[in-house]
Homo-oligomer: A and B are copies of this chain.
Amino acid sequence: MPAGVAIDPAKIAQQMRRRQLGYGRGPRMQFEPDSVEFLAGLRKGKTLGSPIAMAIKNKDASIDRLPVVTQPRPGHADLTGAIKYDHRDIRNVLERASARETAARVAVGAVCRQFLEPFGIDLASHVVGLGSVRAKPAAATIAQIRAKAEPTPLRCLDAAATKAMVQEIDACMKVGDTLGGVFEVVVEGVPLGLGSHVHYDRRLDAILGAAILSIHAVKGVEIGDGVLGATLPGSKVQDEIFYSKAAGFTRSSNRAGGFEGGMTNGTTVVVRGFMKPLSTLKKPLRSVEINTKKPVVGTVERTDVTTVPAAGVVGEAMLAFEISKAMLEKFGGDSLKEIQRNHRAYLKQAAAF
């Protein structure tokens, strides 16, 4: 993180809160606001250029005193993690593997957002699918998301769909089942030319895809209309190029989700994550006790029906982090002032192309 970036703790707290919201969460989440403490890297409210360390304390008892776990939950890291790391107490795996870890990601993302802000880069997310319900497809601006989706129980733009989603959640809650869904992260203000076509591992769309896939329970990702586009003819999928003196080069549409050749093309970045339903059901799944090797059914540990809205917030954080890295790679620099100067001069160069 470069020097000179103003960090407002209130903005971090706001993101931490957003991660804990969403219709379908159990009661636990609503009573534990996470607070972030800075251990290093800030002075008088600004970054120093040196590493930043933050801590989020758990309110639970010491991990040392928590009971031994020997029943691996299907769909979790439990069994595989225990065998890989040679643990006989699954507790040694599950605490770290827990989605609680995404609190740290959101904290890091909240710092990155404040780095991106002076460049006019902003991020938002909304839910576009929950269980069997899909919101009406429509390109969304951040302003629209903030105004219309953010205040709703599932952070969804489509009011009719929201109603159906809430009903599906309520129905699931009654039978002790869970729901997955699809969230969309939208990033505006990203300059043309982040990422690169020159090496497969520098394609920013692939990097962002991995960042989204790394979120707990996310098992699919698409850039723009990736899944739908695979079913259409080429004549219906492309974004044609136009030019006007006022706007420079523009595209007729944004089916590519802001990317061409692995590089941002200056339009809005759109990435969607497909999240499977939580693996912990009230009606538990069959498993095996690891010592006796006898069949068991999993213990019931949580009561969330769905966390798709929260996963969208984590998705924003992940993209904020990866886009920050791409900005630093593209513009170099050690102080915010220097990076902004390099950024401005590049935008001018691009506009004069």
* A residues lining the B interface (CB < 8 Å): 2-4, 39, 43-44, 48-51, 53, 55, 63-64, 72, 74-87, 91-93, 96-97, 105, 129, 131-132, 172, 177-182, 192-193, 196-201, 203, 205-207, 209-211, 213-215, 218-227, 229-235, 237-243, 249, 251-252, 256-257, 260-266, 274-279, 281, 283, 285-288, 290, 293, 295, 318, 328-335, 337-338, 341-342, 345-346, 349-350, 353
New A-B contacts (15) at CB < 8 Å, excluding given A77-B260, A79-B260 = A4-B86, A49-B92, A80-B261, A86-B334, A93-B197, A129-B231, A179-B234, A207-B210, A219-B226, A219-B230, A241-B286, A243-B288, A331-B342, A332-B332, A333-B342
The SS class assigned to the A binding surface is mixed
B337 touches A263 (CB 8 A): no
Can you list the 7 inter-chain pairs with the closest CB atoms, starting with the nearest? A77-B261, A332-B332, A220-B226, A219-B226, A84-B193, A234-B277, A178-B234
**Residue contacts A-B, CB under 8 angstroms, 15 given:** A43-B64, A50-B96, A75-B260, A77-B260, A77-B262, A80-B264, A86-B335, A96-B197, A218-B226, A227-B227, A230-B275, A240-B285, A243-B293, A337-B349, A338-B345
**What is the chain B residue whose CB lies nearest that of A318?**
B200
Q: Are B345 and A75 in contact (CB under 8 A)?
A: no
Q: A197-B97, A334-B86 are in contact. Are A281 and B223 (CB under 8 A)?
A: no
Known contacts: A50-B96, A230-B276, A275-B230. The answer to whether A239 contacts B74 by CB under 8 A is: yes
Q: B232 and A277: CB pair below 8 A?
A: yes
User: Who on chain B is nearest to A252 by CB?
Assistant: B286
What residues of B have a CB within 8 angstroms of the CB of A205 in the complex? 213, 219
Measured in the bound complex, the distance between the Cα atoms of B165 and A231 in whole Å is: 11
* A242–B74 alpha-carbon span in the complex (Å): 10
Residue of B nearest to A224 (CB): B219
Asked if A86 meets B338 with Cβ closer than 8 Å, knowing A197-B81, A251-B74, the reply is yes
* Centre residue among A55, A209, A222, A293 by max chain B CB count within 10 A: A209
Closest beta carbon of chain B to A111's beta carbon, Å: 16
Of the candidates B224, B229, B288, the one whose C-beta lies within 8 Å of that of A180 is B229
A215 surroundings in chain B (CB, below 8 A): 200
Cβ–Cβ contact B332 & A263, under 8 A: no
Given that A86-B338, A238-B74, A240-B285 are contacting pairs, would A80 and B260 also be in contact in the complex, using a CB cutoff of 8 Å? yes
Please indicate the chain B residues that have their CB under 8 angstroms from the CB of A331 in the complex.
Answer: 332-333, 342
Question: Chain B residue with minimal CB distance to A177?
Answer: B233
Residue of B nearest to A205 (CB): B213
With A48-B96, A80-B260, A287-B240 as known contacts, state yes or no: A277 contacts B55, CB within 8 Å: no
Contact at B286–A240, with CB atoms within 8 Å? yes
A346 to B242, CA, bound (A): 35
Known: A77-B197, A234-B278. A213 touches B221 (CB 8 A): yes
